[in-house]
Amino acid sequence: MEQGEGAEAMNVPIGPAAYVFKHKRTGQVVVVPSEQWNEYWFHKDWEHTASLNACGAIQYLINVKPKERNRYLRSLTEKV
* Any domain includes 6: no
Question: Which residue, among 45, 56, 46, 73, has the nearest Cα to 18 in the 3D structure?
Answer: 56
Give the range of the structural domain holding residue 35, as residue numbers without chain letter: 17-77
Indicate the number of domains in the chain.
1
* Any domain includes 37: yes
Torsion, CA 14, CA 19, CA 20, CA 23, rounded to 10? -170
CA 13 and chain centroid, separation: 16
* Any domain includes 56: yes
Q: List, for residues 25-73, the tens digit of each pLDDT value.
A: 999 999 999 889 999 999 999 999 999 888 888 889 999 999 999 999 8
Q: What pTM does this model have?
A: 0.70
Q: What residues have CB less than 8 Å from 24, skipping those under 6 apart?
A: 44, 45, 46, 47
* Any domain includes 1: no
* Any domain includes 9: no
* Any domain includes 49: yes
Phi, psi (deg, nearest 5) at residue 46: -110, 135
